[in-house]
Structure 1
Amino acid sequence: MSAPPVLRDVFRTLMELRGDAAASITFEDGPGPIARLDVFIYRPTESAGLTTFVTVGMATAPMPAPEGQEGGRAELWLSRSGALAPEDEQQIAMQLANLAVYPWNTGRSVTWAQIVGFEHDFPTFPGCAAVFLAGPLLKDTPNWLDTCEGRVQVITVVPITEQERAAAATVPPMTFAGNLIDSRDVFTAPSTAGA
């Protein structure tokens, strides 16, 4: 079965922006309309670079939303400092796949400035059992991808600690995002930030 046109548009735009991925991991038989989700992995070209993970498949359909509201379409991006072991790439991809189907498992859409918690720490981010969903944090990450079904939101996934999660509850989302970026390297686990 071929990919829906909206996903072909997402993939085409991703190829224009990032080129060929170094690897991809496929997850099949997801909930709701997500029959297949691919996580593309872009490995760093230098030791100080970023490994970037991008989902393609979440935008298959609009996310569930409360009656009278639109859920919109989205894809997830996460960047992690340095090269990673294959098993770490697999674990991150699996966690992103779980997050991508979260709207269909809970009936709630996701967007920028939200926090989603997990039962366990995000892989390679010890002490981070939640993620902050942000807009683009890197200059080469777009806000939106144009597709035949309209705009698909690009959501940057930032693992955060419980202390950071508590701080997020006390300030507006933009203030929290600014404070977080000023306080540490969000592309590295907090325990190794600045190392």
Structure 2
Amino acid sequence: MSAPPVLRDVYRTLMAARGDAAASLTFDDGPGPIARLDVFVYRPAEPAGLTTFATVGMATAPMPTADGAEGSRAELLLSRSGELAPEDEQQIAMQLANLAVYPWKTGRAVGWAQIVGFEQDFPTFPGCPAVFLAGPLLKDTPNWIDTCEGAVQVITVVPITEAERASAASMPPKTFAGNLIEARDVFTAPPVVGA
């Protein structure tokens, strides 16, 4: 079965911006309309560069919302400093796949300036049991991807600590994002407190 036209549009945009992925991990039989989700892995050109993960499949359908209306369409992006072992790439891809289907499991859409918590730390980000969903943090990342079904929001996934999560609750999202970026490199795990 071929991919829906909206996903072909997302994939073409991703290819034009980033080229061929070094790896692709596929997750089948997701909830709701997500029959297949691919997570593409773009490895760094040099060891100190970024490994970037991008989902293609979440935008198959508009996200459900709490009031039952249709939400927007979105795809996820996460960048991590340095090269990663294949098992770490697999774990990150699996967590992104879980996050991509979150709206269909909970009935709540996700978007910029939201926080989603997990039962465990985000893979390769020890001490980060939650993620802040942000707009683009890299110059080559668009806010939206134009598709045959309209705009698809690009959501940057930023793992955060419990202390950062508590801080986010006390200020506007834009202020929190600015403070977070000034305080630490969001593309690597924060220092472990007490270590």
TM-score by length of 2: 0.97
| Corresponding residue for residue 145 of structure 1 | 145
| Corresponding residue for residue 33 of structure 2 | 33
Q: Secondary structure at the match of 1:190?
A: coil
Shift of 1:67: 3.0
Please provide the CA RMSD for this pair: 0.9
1:8-47 equivalences under 5 Å are: 8-47=8-47
Shift of 1:47: 1.4
| Corresponding residue for residue 57 of structure 2 | 57
The whole-number CA distance in structure 1 between the counterparts of 2:14 and 2:81 is 20
The whole-number CA distance in structure 2 between the counterparts of 1:187 and 1:71 is 28
| Corresponding residue for residue 89 of structure 1 | 89
Residue deviations 1:90-143 (CA, integer Å, cap 9, x gap): 000000000000000000000000000000000000000000000000000110
| Corresponding residue for residue 116 of structure 1 | 116
Residue deviations 1:17-58 (CA, integer Å, cap 9, x gap): 100000000000000000000000000001110000000000
2:181 partner letter: I
Q: Secondary structure at the match of 1:78?
A: strand
* 1:191 and 2:191 matched: yes
> How many pairs were matched up?
192
List structure 1 runs of 4+ shifted beyond 2 angstroms: 66-70
Shift of 1:68: 6.7
Q: Secondary structure at the match of 1:90?
A: helix
| Corresponding residue for residue 132 of structure 1 | 132
Q: Which moved more, 1:40-49 or 1:67-76?
A: 67-76
The answer for unaligned runs of 5 or more in structure 2 is none
The whole-number CA distance in structure 1 between the counterparts of 2:182 and 2:87 is 30
The whole-number CA distance in structure 2 between the counterparts of 1:12 and 1:118 is 31
The whole-number CA distance in structure 1 between the counterparts of 2:117 and 2:147 is 30
Over the matched positions of the two proteins, sequence identity in percent amounts to 83
The whole-number CA distance in structure 1 between the counterparts of 2:67 and 2:95 is 28
